[in-house]
A and B are shown apart, each in its own frame.
Chain A
């Protein structure tokens, strides 16, 4: 409990760590989505050209 309390600064420390964790997760998600979308688009294009990826 003392650890979670962070002295009297828990209301500042934990939200700060939460924001950075969210930024990490969002960046991973955005990067995966960008790559996934580009791959799907490339597959769709190849399929339209008659090739079957």
Chain B
């Protein structure tokens, strides 16, 4: 009985309708929170005592980094669920994550380079954190390329699922690289055990950004998922009502 909701999530018409109903809520809340977080981060938060105003890149760089690993983890878990329990919707979720994750990983690298130049004196360094983040971008691109190389959706699902699952090893490597190896990159200041090392006037806008980015991810994922489900279920009888809505 308790698992009925979970089983319903595997039904394409149910998930299509649910995604359509939930998307506006996530999109609007993401928009409002991001606007408030931008104001708090750019205007209200004080300058850093060492980095001055340049540290304000953290309010977008850290959430982009969070997106890059969180979206990949979502993709890998969905791919594993799809592979183990043969749930088509789970594969559709995994496929819907790739473009989003790749674009935010590229943004993490780009914003990190723009932050690195004035602070480290260089745009790029083969530092463990930066290198593993670059590997993550290649994993996303590999996943997308692998999917595109198959005509048959089910074969694409299976092959890409293996890559997504194997590649998830990069996620803890990204997170712990700054602890395990000597790194130019700063150690975690928010996502760590114990108390964050940031003052509240900087931490609050940053946490708002994390929330806004995550809500945005869900809104875009649900929109992509609807398209993906429609594409896969094009011969199903329920499509008629869905298209007429």
Contacts and interface: CB of A to CB of B under 8 A. Distances in A.
Interface of A: 3, 6-9, 12-13, 15-17, 19-20, 23-24, 26-28, 30-32, 34-39, 41-43, 45-46, 51, 53
Going nearest first, the 6 A-B pairs with the smallest beta carbon separation are: A9-B54, A7-B53, A38-B230, A34-B227, A35-B227, A31-B223
Contact of A13 (B43, B57, B223, B234): B57
21 contacts: A3-B43, A8-B52, A9-B53, A9-B56, A12-B54, A12-B114, A16-B61, A19-B111, A19-B114, A20-B64, A20-B107, A31-B220, A31-B223, A35-B227, A38-B231, A39-B230, A41-B234, A42-B230, A42-B243, A46-B239, A53-B243
A6 B240 contact: no
Q: Is the interface of B mostly helix, strand, loop or mixed?
A: helix
B223 A53 contact: no
A42 B244 CA distance: 10
B210 interface: no
Q: Is the interface of A mostly helix, strand, loop or mixed?
A: helix
Interface string B232-245: 00110001101110
Contacts of B36: none
A38 B240 CA distance: 13
Contact of A28 (B57, B220, B234, B244): B220
Nearest to A27: B220
